[in-house]
Amino acid sequence: MPVRQPTAEELLSRGNLPRHIAIIMDGNGRWARARGVPRMFGHRAGRESVRESVKGCVALGVEVLTLYTFSIENWKRPKREVDALMGILQKTLRAEREELKANNVRLAVIGRTHDLPAAVRKAITETQNYLAGSSGLLLNLALSYSGRAEMVEAVRAILREEPRIDPAVVDEAFLANFLYTAGLPDPDLLIRTSGELRISNFMLWQLAYAELWITDTLWPDFRRRHLYQAVADYQRRERRFGRVD
């Protein structure tokens, strides 16, 4: 018997919603391979999954949705694929602006953005400016991102700004202010598609107490109902953050 899918209204009525959802979008290549088409078809098909996830988070009043869009390691892929991915990203940012604005969505980017092609950086800036008047969901794209690189850059920033820092003032809150995500709540819920059981160098600091939800669904097949399933499962869990009742 099929599992009944929760509605947004039901999830909202239960309360205990995640403020920040992070997603490792995995499985585009396998989705394409299973259909005998080039990998790019999988990447393009994933646009609808992003759209569905954004709309689902808007409906639930989620504050931040972070998508692991392109890792530093992804630069090692064949140049043809990397160029195509950058082209898809650039076109998607421009194509989705109107709908993002209609849904009151803001845009942020974390990662080594200086690595991105100039045309992509321009599309990001233009989209951020276009959405500047929005006040709802923050769509946070991790681009040329690495969790380890983020922490290295945080330490470098501290040494630049506080060369004679007193070690006694360095605590978790202090360090967090130098991360890409400074000022944002840590993810409450991490979703990973394609069934892989790893976090792939993603938000290593921020995910310390996140609840994990893994699905075998490949990213191009991920829809709002899957997001709602993950949130419903999150609502059933008891988060203790190391405490014992």
What CATH number did the domain enclosing 62 receive? 3.40.1180.10
Question: Does the annotation list 49 as a binding residue?
Answer: no
The confidence score (pLDDT) of residue 103 equals 98
63 Cβ neighbours under 8 A, 6+ residues apart? 19, 20, 137, 138, 185
130 neighbors 94 (Cβ within 8 angstroms): no
Q: Are 43 and 82 in contact (CB under 8 A)?
A: no
Q: Are 181 and 206 in contact (CB under 8 A)?
A: yes
pLDDT above 80 for 94 = yes
pLDDT over 90 at 91, yes or no: yes
Is 9 annotated in a binding site? The answer is: no
Q: What is the pLDDT of residue 239?
A: 77
Does residue 240 sit within a domain?
A: no
Domain limits at 41? Answer: 24-235
Contact 27, 194 (CB under 8 A): yes
Q: In this structure, is residue 80 part of a structural domain?
A: yes
* Predicted confidence band of residue 105 (pLDDT cuts 50, 70, 90): very high
- Number of structural domains found in the chain: 1
Residue 36 lies in a domain: yes
Q: Give the SS3 label for residue 185.
A: coil
Assess if residue 1 is contained within a domain.
Answer: no
Give the pLDDT confidence of 123-133 residue by residue, as tens digits. Answer: 999 999 999 99
**Domain presence at residue 213:** yes
CB 65 within 8 A of CB 56: no
Q: What's the order of all strands across the beta sheet hosting 211-214?
A: 106-110, 138-145, 64-71, 20-24, 189-192, 211-214
Beta carbons within 10 angstroms of residue 190's beta carbon? 25
14 belongs to a structural domain: no
Domain assignment of residue 143, yes or no: yes
- Mean pLDDT, the chain, as a whole number? 95
**pLDDT classification of 242: cutoffs 50, 70, 90:** low
What does the pLDDT look like over 1-14, one tens digit per residue?
Answer: 456 789 999 999 99
Q: Is the alpha carbon torsion for 231, 233, 239, 242 positive or negative? A: negative
If you ran DSSP here, which 8-state letter would residue 3 be given? Answer: P
Indicate the DSSP class of residue 140: E
Whose CA is closest to 202, among 193, 190, 213?
190
121 has binding-site annotation: no
Confidence of residue 244 (pLDDT cuts 50, 70, 90): low
Average pLDDT over residues 169-183: 95
Question: What phi and psi values does residue 222 have, to the nearest 5 degrees?
Answer: -70, 130
Is 233 known to be catalytic?
Answer: no
74 is catalytic: yes
Fill in the amino acid letter for 233: D
16, 26, 83, 201: which one is catalytic?
Answer: 26
Say if residue 160 carries a ligand binding annotation.
no
- With contact defined as beta carbons under 8 Å apart, do 230 and 189 qualify? yes
Per the annotation, does 72 bind a ligand?
A: yes
Identify whether 19 is part of a domain: no
> Which element (helix H / strand E) includes 70?
strand 64-71
